[in-house]
Amino acid sequence: RADDGYRLWLKYDQLPEAGLRKAWLARAKNINVDKNGGPTLQTAAKELQLGLQGLLGRPVPLGAAPGGRGSISLRVTAAPELGREGYRISSQNGKLEITGASEVGVLYGCFALLRQVQTGQLPDQLNLSSQPRIQYRMLNHWDNPNGTVERGYAGSSIWKWLELPERIDPRYQDYARANASIGLNGVVLNNVNASARYLTPEYLRKVAAVAGVLRPYGQRVYLSVLWAAPKVIGGLKTSDPLDPQVKAWWQARTGEIYKAIPDFGGFLVKANSEGEPGPQDYGRNHADGANMLAQALGGHDGIVMWRAFVYKAGSGDRFRQAYEEFQPLDGKFADKVLVQVKNGPIDFQAREPFHPLFGAMPRTPLVLEVQLTQEYLGFATHLVYLGPLIKECLEADTHSQGPGSTVAKVVDGSLEKHSLSGIAGVANIGSDRNWTGHLVGQANWYAFGRLAWDHSLRSEDVAREWASMTLTREPAALAAVLPVLNQSRSIYVRYTTPLGLHHIMGQDIHYGPEPWLARSARPDWTAVYYHKADAAGLGFDRTAAGSDALALYAPGARQRWANPATCPPDYLLWFHHVGWGQQLSTGRTLWDELTTRYYTGTDSVQWMQRQWEQAKPALDPALHADVAARLCIQHREAQWWRDACVLYFQTFARRPLPPGLAPPT
């Protein structure tokens, strides 16, 4: 049967190498687990059994009796060095042991062992331990009650609200398995542009049913809340966070939630952003709002994630706005509040400098929000592996406490000594049979989880893991496919927004080029606002002579971008208005470099197609054909981007294409 992609990276198909199977079979004769353990421990044992039986091609019995040589024991032990969720896999006297300080630690350990088998490692001398560097590792679903998904490109929502709580779609469990297998531990079920409906008793029963499926897999459930809920469903006249009735309403509501879902994780809030209501409607600020919710959570083990994605018409450079609104509130947020910040200052562009709030709010734990759904990166049509994008942000040096103050260290809490830490990925998951529309979208879900667990992993290694588990371990095929994954994001940047161009895509839909967009309800919703092309040159001047957004960064970070002569070309037009004829560090003029990148980027999609063809003999025909077809569309659309942007910018530059580049016809 052709592979439809449903099983993700958890295929558990029999290992092709007889020797490898034999070696593992000798170490996996039975699984030894305490029958009195809780649901997570039993879940761990069953998953390990399922995986090993598939991979090794022989039943692996579960037993409670202490096993002899060749047995695998799952045990919860006092191991404070592993933290709450860490695990250890050790091998002694022919026995394997997976231990954790909690059942969920053992579960993560079982998936880690399966990953070893799936990626073709030998069982000899197996000895590894790992624990997450970031505490809250979440997917944010932008899913609506009516089944649509905001910026979703893989079908409709996987949450069947109309069927819940009576019917539990089997998919919920497979979803939980996938999240647990990559180390995630939390799920915001609904869109940040939230419906108040989720807080009604009717919906809390549904949410509780989903939570019940996710719980054994260590996945806690969270909700996005509509700020105006006290008015919309509570019958109050106000949603003012300082109003005693409003406070009492949230407190009562929170109590109801915890009655239905005892391990409820907390709230995600988008307030006073893009038309959503918020505390500013009552003259209060973000901290007033967040702290009131934190207080409503009271003694429950829950948190508030308050989003910093805000910008308003007429408030100057959009780049600066979240910083200006939030930085002065540093130190004003209650203990249970984390501020959730997108990776870049504008909005999930294909490449952005890191958000200037990182490093600038040392007294507030900041959640890093990245977007897995490819709103600005070609939806589910373009092949873009996001590992490099996520790593680029994590490794960016904020210099806030001198060199080495990376975003990763801000986010994991180590730099500023926070006990809370979090990272969120906006999910790319939908009802499509293969979950993500584009097969490589699965790699982005996978990479997010792995990097959330351990941000020191290399994006290339994560890509190799994913491809080995999902596509093939055949070396020649991997050698063809891995460079495609690893370079796909740079290639996408080249044919859409080279040299630091940003936000020049189609209005509203956010797909395809529309750099000529000049008329809209608001200046910051036009593309010309961002690229600033004129007869002299191109790019947004964010130096002191322009919007001075550069000044938001610590001097060490600012320095990297401040001088157009030394600014890395990838960031140039983010910060400088550069003359068309200006010679860049690449040796070409701006115009020549820009057009060369559009052309070579487009040609590189053909290279991706050739590489993909090379891997064909080793891949499942259905999966191969699906990606090959999407690559054809990608090439056509890369030409569309190239021709549209080159012709449009040429109307300002009034220069011919450099020799060797064929003018668009």
Q: Which is nearer to ligand GCU, 270 or 450 (by Cβ)? A: 270
Q: From the CB of residue 454, how many other CB atoms can be counted at a distance below 10 Å?
A: 15
- Which residues contact ligand GCU (rule: CB under 6 A)? 150-151, 192-193, 270, 309, 347, 375
Where is 52: in which H helix or E strand? helix 39-56
- Report, in Å, the least distance between residue 428 CB and ligand GCU: 14
- Report, in Å, the least distance between residue 148 CB and ligand GCU: 12
- Report, in Å, the least distance between residue 479 CB and ligand GCU: 37
What are the phi and psi torsion angles at 3 (to 5°)?
-75, 125
CA atoms of 221 and 208, how far apart (whole Å)? 9
Residues 6+ apart with CB under 8 A from 641: 495, 496, 512, 513, 598, 602
CA atoms of 443 and 306, how far apart (whole Å)? 28
Cα angle 490, 491, 495; round to 5: 120
- Report, in Å, the least distance between residue 139 CB and ligand GCU: 14
- Report, in Å, the least distance between residue 194 CB and ligand GCU: 10
411, 414, 420, 426: CA torsion to nearest 10: 20
Could you please report the per-residue DSSP string of 190-204? S-SS--GGGGSHHHH
What are the phi and psi torsion angles at 544 (to 5°)?
-60, -25
- Report, in Å, the least distance between residue 328 CB and ligand GCU: 22
CB 268 within 8 A of CB 140: yes
Q: Which is nearer to ligand GCU, 375 or 465 (by Cβ)? A: 375
Cα angle 155, 372, 102; round to 5: 105
Q: Which is nearer to ligand GCU, 262 or 506 (by Cβ)? A: 506
Q: Which is nearer to ligand GCU, 150 or 570 (by Cβ)? A: 150
Q: Which is nearer to ligand GCU, 21 or 270 (by Cβ)? A: 270
Q: From the CB of residue 26, how many other CB atoms can be counted at a distance below 10 Å?
A: 12
CA atoms of 584 and 573, how far apart (whole Å)? 12
Q: Which of 358, 389, 43, 101 is nearest to 219 (CA)?
A: 43
CB 189 within 8 A of CB 222: yes
The residues assigned a catalytic role are 274, 347, 375
Q: How far is CA 632 from CA 492, 510, 514, 636, 644, in A?
A: 14, 20, 21, 6, 18
Q: Which is nearer to ligand GCU, 273 or 609 (by Cβ)? A: 273
Q: Which of 128, 91, 87 is nearest to 108 (CA)?
A: 87
Q: Which is nearer to ligand GCU, 52 or 426 (by Cβ)? A: 426
- Report, in Å, the least distance between residue 427 CB and ligand GCU: 13
